[in-house]
Amino acid sequence: MINTKTPVSVLGLGLMGHALAETLLTAGHPTTVWNRTASKADRLVEAGATLADSAEAAVKASQLVIICVTDPAAVRAVLDQLDGALDDTVLINLTSGPSSAATEFADWAEQHGPDFLDGAILASPEMIGTADTTIVYSGSRAAFDRNAETLGRLGVATHVGDDHRQAALLEMAGLGLMWGALNGYLHGAALIRAAGVDAATFAPLAAATLRAVADWLPGYAKQIDDGEFPPLDGTLDTHLAAMHHLLAESETLGLNLELPRYVTSVAERGAAEDKGQQGYAVLIDQFGG
């Protein structure tokens, strides 16, 4: 039987690239792979992937090409190995990096011919291919639409704009949120551990708190976009009073005070601007932009 699934080449077979290639292969796509260290392709080749002996050969093997390596410098190192026009190719970069890198690679694509999409994977390798994975793409809408079915095999594929920078910007915003939440969790775990309670006791409560906070976000987003901040979950003053409790508790338990001090100082600056009776989202001004 003829395989009508879109052939795909995947360049970069680290944890993430390997998961991408494996998912496409399992879904029945003819899959060509290349990695600087060729041995990382062994399992994929055993499962039916074709190993290209150069980045150039991998790119020439398929019209849809995905690159996922460590960082923009590694992408540059791979692009430098490519020679010749790539007019019929759709090149997708799923390597993390700042939006300036997306612009740089879009410019490269402009000179070398391929349609270019920059993407950001909002998931870990073991989640690839599941409905819990979101991958955002920005750049050529037509190239995205032509390949939406294939990209949908990797996770929920969302085109977020024609401007190449948008996927990277969303990724950076998401990462900042993730580390803010994780640092908050680690501070909380340290706090209860200092009082002799194990971290496992805190985990379900922490998850419930994150879910509740997640539900506030659409309301906050509307306020930020509208520039009006009536209190939703509580006034800034109410939040600030509770922050002082957290600071005092952390001090009593001998914890590192950087995080509660930082959180409190942001809110205090807002209150000093006479915003204490407004909602928490009024603090958006403290973050610039």
60 vs 187, beta carbon nearer ligand NAP: 60
Q: Is 174 exposed, middle or buried (0-12, 13-18, 19+ CB in 10 A)?
A: middle
Decide: is 35 part of the binding site for ligand NAP (CB under 6 A). yes
Burial (CB count within 10 angstroms: exposed 0-12, middle 13-18, buried 19+), residue 161: middle
Q: Among 64, 69, 92, 191, which residue sits at the site for ligand NAP (rule: CB under 6 A)?
A: 69
Kindly state the smallest distance separating residue 50's Cβ from ligand NAP, in Å. 17
174 binds ligand NAP per the rule CB under 6 A: no
How far, rounded to the nearest angstrom, does the alpha carbon of residue 273 sit from its chain's CA centroid?
34
Quick check: helix, strand or coil at residue 32?
A: strand
The conformational region for residue 50 under phi > 0 = left, psi -120 to 50 = alpha, else beta, is beta
- Please tell me whether residue 14 binds ligand NAP under the rule CB under 6 A: yes
Determine the interface stretch with ligand NAP among 70-78, 217-225, 227-235, 249-257 (rule: CB under 6 A): 70-78
Q: Cα 32 vs. chain centroid, distance in angstroms?
A: 25
Q: Rank residues 68 and 243 by Cβ distance to ligand NAP and give the closer one.
A: 68
Structure tokens at 54: 């150069």
Closest approach of Cβ 135 to ligand NAP, in Å? 9
Among 10, 21, 44, 78, binds ligand NAP (CB under 6 A): 78
* Residue 68 sits in the site that holds ligand NAP (CB under 6 A): yes
Residue 161 interacts with ligand NAP (CB under 6 A): yes or no: no
Binding residue (CB under 6 A) for ligand NAP from 9, 10, 12, 136: 12
Rank residues 106 and 121 by Cβ distance to ligand NAP and give the closer one: 121
Distance CA 218, CA 236 (A): 18
Residue nearest to ligand NAP (CB): 14
CA distances for 101 relative to 4, 32, 59, 64, 80, angstroms: 34, 25, 20, 20, 15
CA–CA gap between residue 5 and residue 179 (Å, rounded): 38
**Binding range to ligand NAP, per CB under 6 A, among 8-16, 197-205, 216-224, 233-241:** 8-16
* 96 forms part of the interface with ligand NAP (CB under 6 A): yes
| DSSP three-state, residue 256 | coil
Q: By CB under 6 A, name the one of 8, 16, 64, 106 that touches ligand NAP.
A: 16
Count of residues in contact with ligand NAP, rule CB under 6 A = 22
Task: Give the C-alpha separation, 50 to 54, whole Å.
Answer: 12
Separation CA 142–CA 167 (nearest Å): 16
CB of 175 to ligand NAP, least distance (A): 9
**CA pair distance 39, 24, nearest whole angstrom:** 19
Positions that interact with ligand NAP (CB under 6 A): 12-17, 35-37, 40, 68-71, 74, 77-78, 95-96, 121, 124-125
